[in-house]
Amino acid sequence: NAGVTQTPKFQVLKTGQSMTLQCAQDMNHNSMYWYRQDPGMGLRLIYYSASEGTTDKGEVPNGYNVSRLNKREFSLRLESAAPSQTSVYFCASSAQTGNQETQYFGPGTRLLVL
List contacts with other proteins (CB under 8 A). 31, 33, 40-43, 45, 48, 50, 56, 58, 90, 94, 98-108
CB of 70 to other proteins, least distance (A): 19
Q: How far is the C-alpha of 8 from the C-alpha of 15, rounded, in Å?
A: 18
- Which DSSP string do the residues of 76-98 spell out, in sequence order? EEESS--GGG-EEEEEEEEEEET
Which of 30, 31, 18, 23 is closest to 5 using CA atoms? 23
Nearer CB in complex with other proteins: 46/78: 46
Nearer CB in complex with other proteins: 17/86: 86
Nearer CB in complex with other proteins: 17/105: 105
CB of 43 to other proteins, least distance (A): 4
CA angle 72–73–74, rounded 5-degree value: 135
CB of 106 to other proteins, least distance (A): 6
Q: How far is the C-alpha of 13 from the C-alpha of 49, rounded, in Å?
A: 26
CB of 108 to other proteins, least distance (A): 6
